[in-house]
Amino acid sequence: MTPHFHLSGGTVNFGATVALRNVHFYLEPGEFVVLLGANGSGKTTMVKALLGLVPLSKGRLDVFGTPLAKFRDWGRIGYVPQRASAASGVPASAFEVVLAGRLARSRKWGLHTRDDARAVREALELVDMADKHREPVETLSGGQQQRVLIARALAGEPDVLVLDEPVSGVDLEHQESFATTLGELNRGGRSVLLVAHALGVIEPLVSRAVVLTQGEVTYDGKPLRELHDSHVHHHPHSAEQPPRFSQPAGGPR
Amino acid sequence: MDIFASAWNGFWNACPFEFCRWDFMQKALVAAALVGVTAPAIGIFLVQRRLSLMGDGIGHVAFTGVAAGFLFGTLPLVTAIMAAILGALAIELMRERGRTEGDVALAVVFYGGIAGGALLMGLSGTSNTNILTYLFGALLSVNRPDILAALGISIVVLGSAMLLRRVLFAVSYDEEVARISGVSVRAANLLVAVAAAITVGVTMRVVGILLVSGMLVLPVAAVQQLTRSFNATFVGSLALGLLVSIAGVVTSYYLDAPPGATIVMGAIVAFVLASVFARARAVV
């Protein structure tokens, strides 16, 4: 099957700084991949590069089997960016925020359609926020705002969900309910690419872990207990290298 | 044309107030009403992106355009709108490139606009009285072409804001997610910038360059304290913009004060009342 994302030799430079160096990465349909690494290791840059939000200086990226420049089927991707809050300058209801995630599958002018409203309702139900659809997002708790942003990504009925540290700043109880939701979505057939600081509560769901260290992939394989330990109990901000494995980070065969 | 003329006369004859009898007041009320509903329709997207002062930056550049009009002997409104569009595009592109922070980009445009205007005004030898009508508005001297220009621009700006509200909301709310929804973020941002620029151009005739941003932003700032959704804020701020514009013109007639000032003061009163009401509601 065609991988959802296939990045080969991906390099991203910000001025003189190399943020991502010769990265090989793929995400197969149905996979649940977690992208781990310390702060500043290039996780967010890699995710943004996969979505075309940050240009590659070198390398090749295919999205759903199409070179990025020609890719148009954006409804297949749902993205939850790293964001402290869902609030903006003007009040917006949870419904309105989630509806914005529906644009890729819908007409861009005029009012939303009945089908859009249905997709928004379903997305809010999936994250257990249906009863809050009229609430202004800025009055919701951090965990609830996060769930609204996940619903926004789901409103386009995507095949793959890309989430950038969605549980940072969310308490453990909500992390667990979030993990349950993600597990259900994954079992429902969506693939998941999750950026995280540590494996934590999502460990049982993960099919593959990729570790970035200073912009390079230093591990790509089963989510091992060592990864968990070295990231949870040691010093996540130190530059210590996670275990290096002999197998190279390969593409799909 | 006769139908329009008789409808126009009939409308004003039906108005029970004394000020409705004056031709200059009729034109002022219509121009103010048009600007009152149009300015917040575009201002809401600036507020949402936390770029409330962008209207001010554009207004300052429009000042250079006005001065250029005087210098070259062309219609100041036309050169003002042209300069405003260029200024708005400059702010937007500086912001998009990311090398200059949004507020620094605005500062450059602010001071450049005023300095450029002062320079060109000096070269053209324009009188101070003339300059003042652009800085603080000259609503009572609006003529038929002004009203037609305001009407045309209102239709275009309101129409775009309503038709493209989904896209403009998505882009103002979260550029990155809008981009991966297949929206051309740059086109949407440039559209808002240009719409803001031409709105500033006509608003300038009503409240003046120095108060232009107030009309774009204050109705939104007042209403959003009481609303719970973007939709309600949109509708409410258009209604409030209309209300304060008409009330401001009427007040200026009785107080014999500049209408630009009474309109914007009215909007500020609405803002303060909304704050007090929102506070009170939060306590209860």
Averaged pLDDT in 10-residue chunks for chain A of 253 residues: 93 92 95 92 95 95 95 94 80 96 90 94 92 93 88 94 81 80 90 90 91 93 68 41 42 41
Q: Do A72 and B231 touch (CB under 8 A)?
A: no
Q: Do B169 and A89 touch (CB under 8 A)?
A: no
Give the β-pairing of A77-80 and A160-164: parallel
Q: Do B47 and A72 touch (CB under 8 A)?
A: no
Q: Do A92 and B230 touch (CB under 8 A)?
A: yes
Residue of A nearest to B181 (CA): A104
In chain B, % of residues over pLDDT 70: 98
Give the C-alpha separation, B91 to B10, whole Å.
46
Where do the structural domains in chain B lie, given as residue ranges?
Answer: 19-283
Sign of CA pseudo-dihedral B246, B250, B253, B259 = negative
Q: What share of chain B is helix, strand, coil (3-state, %, to 5)?
A: 85, 0, 15
Confidence (pLDDT) at A228 = 53
Where do the structural domains in chain A lie, given as residue ranges?
Answer: 1-64+159-253, 85-158
Q: Do A108 and B164 touch (CB under 8 A)?
A: yes
Contact between residue A226 and residue A209 where contact means Cβ atoms under 8 Å apart: no
Has domain A1-64+159-253 been given CATH number 3.30.750.210?
no
- Does B31 contact A at CB distance below 8 Å? no
Confidence (pLDDT) at A240 = 41
Q: How many CB pairs under 8 A join A and B?
A: 104
At residue B5 the predicted structure's pLDDT band, cuts being 50, 70 and 90, is: confident
When CB atoms are compared, the residue of B179, B182, B230 closest to A96 is B230
Answer yes or no: is pLDDT of B236 > 90: yes
Does A229 or B214 have the greater pLDDT score?
Answer: B214
Confidence (pLDDT) at B145 = 85
Cβ contacts of B76-85, under 8 Å, gap ≥ 24:
B76/B134, B77/B146, B77/B149, B77/B201, B77/B202, B77/B204, B77/B205, B80/B134, B80/B201, B80/B204, B81/B197, B81/B198, B81/B201, B83/B113, B84/B58, B84/B59, B84/B197, B84/B198, B84/B200, B84/B201, B85/B193, B85/B194, B85/B197, B85/B198
Contact between residue A201 and residue A179 where contact means Cβ atoms under 8 Å apart: yes
Please list every residue in chain A whose beta carbon sits closer than 8 Å to the beta carbon of residue B183.
Answer: 103, 108
Confidence (pLDDT) at A168 = 67
CA distances from A232 to A37, A43, A164, B199 (A): 11, 17, 18, 54
Confidence (pLDDT) at B38 = 96
- Coil/strand/helix, residue A85: coil
Answer yes or no: is pLDDT of B221 > 90: yes
- Does B64 contact A at CB distance below 8 Å? no
Confidence (pLDDT) at B274 = 97
Confidence (pLDDT) at A67 = 96
Sign of CA pseudo-dihedral B243, B246, B247, B249 = positive
At residue B105 the predicted structure's pLDDT band, cuts being 50, 70 and 90, is: confident
Residues of A near B (CB-CB distance < 8 A)? 48, 51-53, 72, 74-75, 77, 79, 81, 83, 88-93, 95-97, 99-101, 103-104, 106, 108-112, 134-136, 152-153, 156
Cα end-to-end span (Å), chain B: 56
Element (H, E) at A232: helix A225-232
- Does B224 contact A at CB distance below 8 Å? yes
Sign of CA pseudo-dihedral B238, B239, B244, B250 = positive
Has domain B19-283 been given CATH number 1.10.3470.10?
yes
Confidence (pLDDT) at B242 = 97
Residue of B nearest to A150 (CA): B177
Confidence (pLDDT) at B107 = 82
Residue of A nearest to B188 (CA): A108
Q: Do B47 and A104 touch (CB under 8 A)?
A: no
Predicted TM-score of the model (pTM): 0.88
- B 152-191 residues with CB < 8 A to A: 163-164, 166-167, 169-170, 172-174, 176-183
Tell me how many degrees the CA angle A130-A135-A137 measures, rounded to the nearest 5.
100
Q: How far is A235 from chain B (nearest CA, A)?
A: 31
Averaged confidence pLDDT in chain B: 91
